[in-house]
Every structure is written in C-alpha cells, then in structure tokens.
Amino acid sequence: MARVYLDTSFVSACVTTREDAQSTVRRDTSIEWMQTQSPLHDLLVSAEVVNELNNHSYPRREAALQVLNRAAFLHLNDEVVGVATVFIEQKLMPAPIKGDALHVAACAVHRVEYLISWNVRHLANPNKTTHLRTICARLGLIPPIIVTPDLLWSEP
C-alpha cells in the first residue's frame, strides 16, 4: 500500500458546498477517490492540515475534520521545519513557514510516496517538479509525487 498525504485542498474539496463547475467536479472526484481509492492506501496528514481546517472562519470545519478520521498523523518535527525553511529560501514555496512548505517537507522527511492536492499553483504543478527534486536531492531526501486525485487511480 502506498502512503498518501491528504493536503488541505483535497479535504476541503470533499466537503465543499460550492456549486460552480470546477468545485463540483473536484468535490465529486474527491469523494469518489475517498470511497474507491483510499482503502488501497495508507492515508496521512499532519497537524498543519488540521490547523488550516480548524480555522473558525472555515464554514465546513466539522465535516472536513471528519474526513481525516482514517488518516494517521505525521510529526512536524525540527527536521520538517528545517526542510520547509530550505524550500522557502530556495523559492520553491512561498513564505511563511506553514501550509504548502510544511506539507511537502513532512512528506519528504517521512518518506511519503504521494501528496494528493488540488493546489495546482504551488503543489500539483509539473513546473515545480524539477526544482523540488533538485532541492530534495541536495538534502538527501526523496520528494513525494504530487498529484491531483484523478491522477492517483487504480482500476479494480
């Protein structure tokens, strides 16, 4: 079973009530992924996902946190924070040390194979893949493969 980190955008998509076309497709794909694909993987999150979803202004907070029930937690230790700092210093991720930088750093440090995300600007962006691989190689780490859920699909 592959280890898959669920980032905040994926969890949020599972519970969104938005009705625009993009949100609807992402919600439906995410829900179907959770129903059919998640049993094939070890699901992981970090406290950063919980922190982002636990914001009092987030309208679907309780439902989003329920999605995390099956996921195990990765520790955001000093090594993760250090790697996130390097990602920011190397202009791979935007500052400050939170969100995207911590998600990817946690995956690299804890050797997670996949990070699933709908964030195509900063995470699931093929233009960032080479930069991420280069930085991780310098640090002696293997980067996660960052994909949208529709790209991490196994047929029965």
**Is the per-residue pLDDT at 154 higher than 70?**
yes
Dihedral sign of CA atoms 41, 65, 72, 81 in order:
positive
pLDDT score at 156: 62
State which amino acid sits at residue 31.
I
* 156 lies in some domain: no
Check if the beta carbon of residue 142 is closer than 8 Å to that of residue 136: yes
**Domain range spanning residue 62?**
2-151
Establish if 71 belongs to a structural domain. Answer: yes
CATH number for the domain harbouring residue 86: 3.40.50.1010
How does pLDDT run across 64-73, given as a tens digit for each residue?
999 999 999 9
51-88: burial string, b at 16+ Cβ within 10 Å, e else = ebbeeeebebeebbbebbeebeebebeebbeebbbbbb
pLDDT at 143 over 70: yes
State the alpha helices, DSSP H only, in the chain. Answer: 8-15, 21-36, 47-53, 61-67, 78-89, 99-109, 126-139
| Domain-embedded: residue 25 | yes
**Contact present, 112 and 144 (Cβ < 8 Å):** yes
Give every CB contact of residue 63 below 8 A, 6+ residues apart in sequence.
15
pLDDT tens per residue, range 19-77:
999 999 999 999 999 999 999 999 999 999 999 998 878 888 889 999 999 999 999 99
Q: Is 106 a domain residue?
A: yes
- Distance CA(143)–CA(84), nearest Å, equals 12
The SS3 call for residue 99 is helix
Q: Which residue, among 35, 7, 18, 4, has the nearest Cα to 93 in the 3D structure?
A: 7
Its pTM stands at 0.94
- Please give the pLDDT value at position 26: 95
Number of independent structural domains in the chain: 1
